[in-house]
A and B are shown apart, each in its own frame.
Chain A
Amino acid sequence: MNNLYNIAKDLFSTNKVDLIIGYKSIDSRRTKPIFVSSNEDVDHLVFNEYSLNNLSVYLTRKDIKKYNKIGILAKGCDIRAIVQLINENQIEREKILIISKKCNGVVKDFGLEYNEENIAEKCKSCKVRTPKVFDLMIDSEEEKKLPEPTISSRVNELDSMTPEERFEFWRNEFSKCIRCYACRQACPLCYCERCIVDKNIPDWIESSPTQRANFSWNLIRAFHLSGRCIGCGECERVCPVDIPLSLLNAKMGIVAFKEFNYATGMEIGEPTLVGNYSNEDNEDFIK
């Protein structure tokens, strides 16, 4: 039987991995990341609709990179982040063993019961609920129908505003920012060794959470993730002041798809959006 326990046990007994990054249950509606490095802890591993974290955030960390072969539990969306990290040459495909499953969505946040109402927005429009890139698949339920997504209508709503209204909307949202950088830390694609916001000679982005600097920080992060964000929504989930960061990232994703027919992290070896130029690239948006 391809259950998680058997797969993980087998991987350690046959020395196919040195570490498995997975989830462990805290209670019936919560999990947390766990690092399993031997057969002994394998029975802690779970992979369910409360497995919220995008664990690929750990793959670029120095103390994790030192392992030769890393097994990782990853939902379809998380795999897109892994693929993007491989395509950006941050991790090596051969070192990563992806254990996945068919996914029927996860809850918006810990503590909520898994039901139609509480399914995370990102899951509703997910194209990779049955993942395309993986190494091992655990037995899982077939895909079932999830509620209709609302994110694009929310993006359209913003698009239909006048620039002044839109500016006011984001001014309001960004004014709440306390610059804790939880968004950055939870993001698998925010792996810069030295983030622009931590540079102070010159002081590109002031560290004070003032309106001006909050705009700079949040917009620079959005630009920097354009064509790179895979939409896991972790930034928004972890934001202590509920800034709808997914709206920014979704908008950039929609533009990348419309203008360049590009979706991030779908195939290994695919050139990255910003790292690739083609004569056929659409240029009529340059004004």
Chain B
Amino acid sequence: MYRIKKQDFSKIIDELIKTGNRIISYSNNGNDFKRINSSNELSINSNFKPSKLSLKEIVFPKTEPLFYYKRTNDNVELKDIKFDSEKTIIIGAKPCDAKAFSTISKVFNWDYKDNFFNSKYENTIIIGLKCDYKDEYCFCNEVGLSQSSKEGSDIFIELDGDDYFIYILSEKGKNLLQPFMSYLIEEIKESKVDDIDNIIDLNKVRTWITDNFDNNFWYSISQECLGCGKCAFICPTCHCFDIVDENYTYFEGRRMKNWDACQFGKFTLHASGHNPRDIQAKRYRQRIAHKFKYYFDKFDELLCTGCGRCSRECPVSINIFDVIKEINAK
């Protein structure tokens, strides 16, 4: 672990901007994040509540072209996408957001290696920040994380007066700071383990979901659900996408990859007209089961980092943690 003065950290950021890196920092109220052009725009605040949209769009944009096509008389020409090699450095990701990157990387690298995701993820360096925010929607400690979890971060910082403590956690992080080691002062600090007092037994939740696919519970908790996809779109781990072809003209067009959400009625609608998830209760069950059972069954981790965005922003105040607590109490 190292200690660095805040102004030295800013110098590093300015140097990184100068050498062509894309630096992402939060706005002054933490509601959103943007590319910054100078360290003066840096906003590192451990009391921010999670931004409205999660950081996932950096590696998984809301829309992106997969290729372009052109029809000629007897042929179709395809034009591939050139991947951007620009490095993106995220400053101050919350532990719940930082972890989400490595979580979704599993599904994008399971059987098919998704180069659209990987090209961005490999070029992204995540600088996590210890979090001091907690409201009634946060539950990171119930899904195996904590306010000082370093999972998913390449570098992790903690505020300490006029200094930062810096943890270098990955090869990527090490390479990034290599030229700047003279600013860092090595220090040994006893790392405090967060007190975690869990109330949810995730194994129990998982077993209940497995055994109760047709339980009326799913209907009772989702009756008020409007079926908007807001929860999925703002979630740092929801990663479903739709692929559509867009024609500019009869002869030319492009294939697009766009965010999609399992809460939409159309999501599972078959061309035949049959819809296996024909009512909202089945779609809501899918949301919960995917996050707390299916993903765990397949990848040995949850598809939820407890950021609480979906509950905070739900138009009809459905609280995912309340749902899990209810299942846990069964």
Q: Is A136 an interface residue (CB 8 A)?
A: no
Candidates B224, B256, B315, B317; contact of A35 at CB < 8 Å: B224
Candidates A27, A34, A207, A234; contact of B315 at CB < 8 Å: A234
Which residues 97-115 of A have a CB within 8 angstroms of B?
A: 110
Q: Which of the 9-residue segments A163-171, A178-186, A266-274 touches chain B? A: A178-186
Known pairs A208-B246, A241-B53; A182 contacts B228 (CB<8 A): yes
Q: Given contacts A179-B258, A186-B315, could you give 11 more A-B pairs where the C-beta distance is less than 8 Å?
A: A31-B317, A34-B224, A35-B223, A63-B223, A110-B317, A180-B229, A182-B226, A208-B258, A209-B258, A240-B230, A241-B53
Q: How far is the CA of A31 from the CA of B234 in the complex (A)?
A: 22
Q: How far is the CA of A182 from the CA of B315 in the complex (A)?
A: 8
Which residues 234-274 of B have a CB within 8 angstroms of A?
A: 234, 242, 244, 246-247, 256, 258-259, 261, 264, 266
Q: Which 4 A-B pairs have the closest CB atoms?
A: A32-B317, A185-B228, A182-B228, A238-B315
Q: How far is the CA of A241 from the CA of B51 in the complex (A)?
A: 11
Q: Is B227 an interface residue (CB 8 A)?
A: yes
A181:B52 contact, CB within 8 angstroms: no
Which residues 261-302 of B have a CB within 8 angstroms of A?
A: 261, 264, 266, 279
Known pairs A32-B318, A53-B315, A180-B261; A203 contacts B246 (CB<8 A): yes
- With a cutoff of 8 Å between Cβ atoms, the chain B residues found around residue A244 in the complex are none
Complex interface bits, A161-198 against B, C-beta within 8 A gives 1, otherwise 0: 00000000000000000111110111000000000001
- With a cutoff of 8 Å between Cβ atoms, the chain A residues found around residue B226 in the complex are 57, 182, 185-186
A207:B242 contact, CB within 8 angstroms: yes
Candidates B224, B228, B244; contact of A207 at CB < 8 Å: B244
Q: How far is the CA of A198 from the CA of B93 in the complex (A)?
A: 35
B234:A240 contact, CB within 8 angstroms: yes
Known pairs A207-B244, A209-B258; A180 contacts B316 (CB<8 A): no
- With a cutoff of 8 Å between Cβ atoms, the chain A residues found around residue B163 in the complex are none
**Residue of A whose beta carbon sits closest to that of B242:** A207
- With a cutoff of 8 Å between Cβ atoms, the chain A residues found around residue B266 in the complex are 198
Q: How far is the CA of A201 from the CA of B215 in the complex (A)?
A: 37
Q: Is B26 an interface residue (CB 8 A)?
A: no
Q: Is B158 an interface residue (CB 8 A)?
A: no
Q: Is A30 an interface residue (CB 8 A)?
A: yes
Known pairs A31-B317, A180-B229, A182-B315; A240 contacts B52 (CB<8 A): yes
Complex interface bits, B119-157 against A, C-beta within 8 A gives 1, otherwise 0: 000000000000000001000000000000000000000
- With a cutoff of 8 Å between Cβ atoms, the chain B residues found around residue A49 in the complex are none
Q: Is B204 an interface residue (CB 8 A)?
A: no
Show 25 residue pairs from A and B whose CB-CB distance is below 8 angstroms, ordered by the A residue: A26-B317, A30-B317, A31-B317, A32-B224, A32-B317, A33-B224, A53-B315, A110-B317, A178-B53, A178-B62, A181-B229, A182-B315, A186-B226, A198-B266, A203-B244, A206-B244, A206-B246, A206-B256, A208-B256, A209-B258, A237-B315, A238-B230, A238-B315, A240-B52, A240-B233
Complex interface bits, A254-266 against B, C-beta within 8 A gives 1, otherwise 0: 0000000000000
**Residue of A whose beta carbon sits closest to that of B65:** A208
Q: Is B63 an interface residue (CB 8 A)?
A: yes
Q: How far is the CA of A186 from the CA of B224 in the complex (A)?
A: 11
Q: Is A210 an interface residue (CB 8 A)?
A: yes
- With a cutoff of 8 Å between Cβ atoms, the chain B residues found around residue A27 in the complex are 136
Q: How far is the CA of A181 from the CA of B229 in the complex (A)?
A: 7
- With a cutoff of 8 Å between Cβ atoms, the chain B residues found around residue A110 in the complex are 317
- With a cutoff of 8 Å between Cβ atoms, the chain B residues found around residue A242 in the complex are 52
| Dominant secondary structure at the A interface | mixed
Q: Is B313 an interface residue (CB 8 A)?
A: yes
Q: How far is the CA of A237 from the CA of B313 in the complex (A)?
A: 10
- Closest chain-A Cβ to B271's Cβ sits at a distance in Å of 11
- With a cutoff of 8 Å between Cβ atoms, the chain B residues found around residue A207 in the complex are 242, 244, 256, 258
Which residues 19-34 of A have a CB within 8 angstroms of B?
A: 26-27, 30-34
Q: How far is the CA of A184 from the CA of B315 in the complex (A)?
A: 12
- With a cutoff of 8 Å between Cβ atoms, the chain B residues found around residue A206 in the complex are 244, 246, 256
Complex interface bits, B205-241 against A, C-beta within 8 A gives 1, otherwise 0: 0000000000000000001101111101110000000
Q: How far is the CA of A229 from the CA of B9 in the complex (A)?
A: 51
Which residues 121-179 of A have a CB within 8 angstroms of B?
A: 178-179
Which residues 27-45 of A have a CB within 8 angstroms of B?
A: 27, 30-35
- Closest chain-B Cβ to A56's Cβ sits at a distance in Å of 12
B313:A185 contact, CB within 8 angstroms: no
B315:A210 contact, CB within 8 angstroms: no
- Closest chain-A Cβ to B14's Cβ sits at a distance in Å of 28
Q: How far is the CA of A182 from the CA of B227 in the complex (A)?
A: 8
Name the residue in A27, A63, A179 with the highest tally of chain B Cβ atoms < 10 Å from its Cβ. Answer: A179
- With a cutoff of 8 Å between Cβ atoms, the chain B residues found around residue A186 in the complex are 226, 228, 315
Q: How far is the CA of A26 from the CA of B321 in the complex (A)?
A: 13
Which residues 54-68 of B have a CB within 8 angstroms of A?
A: 62-63
A180:B227 contact, CB within 8 angstroms: no
B62:A209 contact, CB within 8 angstroms: yes
- With a cutoff of 8 Å between Cβ atoms, the chain B residues found around residue A31 in the complex are 317
- With a cutoff of 8 Å between Cβ atoms, the chain B residues found around residue A184 in the complex are 228
A32:B316 contact, CB within 8 angstroms: yes
